[in-house]
Amino acid sequence: MTETDATPVPLGRRERNKQQKLERIIAAADDLFGAHGVDEVTTQQIADAADIGAGTLFLYAKNKAELLLLVQNKHYAEAIEAGSRASEAASGCLNAVMAMIEPVIVCNRRQTENGRTYLRELVFGDPEEPHHRAGLELIARLDDAVVDILVKTGELPRTDAGLLARAISAIMFVSLASPIHLRSTSEEISADIREQVGVLLRR
């Protein structure tokens, strides 16, 4: 491949406009959901804050559930990247696993009800809907990262590591969704998850 071939093709004006509108929608939804919670915000308020018409908004997300997926997916992707960096500097298998998932825990608890609603959407939503599918792909990426940690620091066969990663993921998401932790802080939830994962890794 020549240097010219490797140069990214610039987006056309139409694609740039679409991308800018999407970014405004995500920013507006993020601000409003964060301030008031998803249940207290209307799609019209988001459209107004993004400076677009309601009809245009529905070209990007058909309802508030999809808007929440858009917002949370963005933050989850950032959390997974942060966890990957943190896990590389951690010593020991349990510390590395927790370093990987703690940013996701914090991300989910930015606004408690939004985080719980997001998890419900991932579990019960339409897996063929693009924003929902993107959320599931993020969860798979997190599982893959935990598998790599378990293979590298826990010296586990990849098959066993895959099963353990899914169990760890289940522990995390059940803990985040549980009414027991409705008023718990991120630190308290992390401590609870650490205890459960620690027992699992000592199997």
33-78 residue pLDDT tens:
999 999 999 999 999 999 999 999 999 999 999 999 999 999 999 9
Confidence bin at 144 (pLDDT 50/70/90): very high
Q: Check whether 180 has a pLDDT greater than 80.
A: yes
Helices 13-36, 43-50: crossing angle, 10 deg rounding = 130
- Mean pLDDT to the nearest integer, 160-165: 96
**CA 156 to CA 129: how far, in whole Å?**
35
Query: Is residue 8 scored above 90 in pLDDT?
Result: no
CATH superfamily of 63-201: Tetracycline Repressor, domain 2 (1.10.357.10)
CB-CB neighbours of 203 under 10 Å:
7
* 80 Ramachandran zone, left/alpha/beta (phi>0; psi -120 to 50): alpha
Q: Class of 9-60 per CATH?
A: mainly alpha
Comparing C-alpha atoms, which of 128, 201, 129, 124 is closest to residue 167? Answer: 201
Residue 71's pLDDT is 96
Instruction: Reply yes or no on whether the pLDDT at 1 is more than 60.
Output: no
Confidence at residue 67, expressed as pLDDT on a 0 to 100 scale: 96
Chain-centroid distance, C-alpha 179 = 20
pLDDT of residue 13: 76
Per-domain residue ranges of the chain = 9-60, 63-201
The pLDDT, as a whole number, for residue 90 is: 96
Report phi then psi at 153, rounded to 5.
Answer: -100, -25
Please give the DSSP secondary-structure letter assigned to residue 12: P
Look at the alpha carbons of 97, 101, 106, 112 in this order and tell me if their dihedral is positive or negative.
negative
User: Does residue 2 carry a pLDDT above 90?
Assistant: no
Confidence of residue 9 (pLDDT cuts 50, 70, 90): low
Query: 92 — phi, psi (to 5°)?
Result: 90, 150
Note if the pTM is more than 0.75. yes
Find out whether 84 and 142 touch, Cβ atoms under 8 Å.
no
Q: How confident is the model at residue 155 (pLDDT cuts 50, 70, 90)?
A: confident
Label residue 162 by pLDDT band (50, 70, 90). very high
pLDDT at 14 over 90: no
Predicted confidence at residue 17, as pLDDT, reads: 85
Phi, psi for residue 50 in degrees, rounded to 5: -85, -5
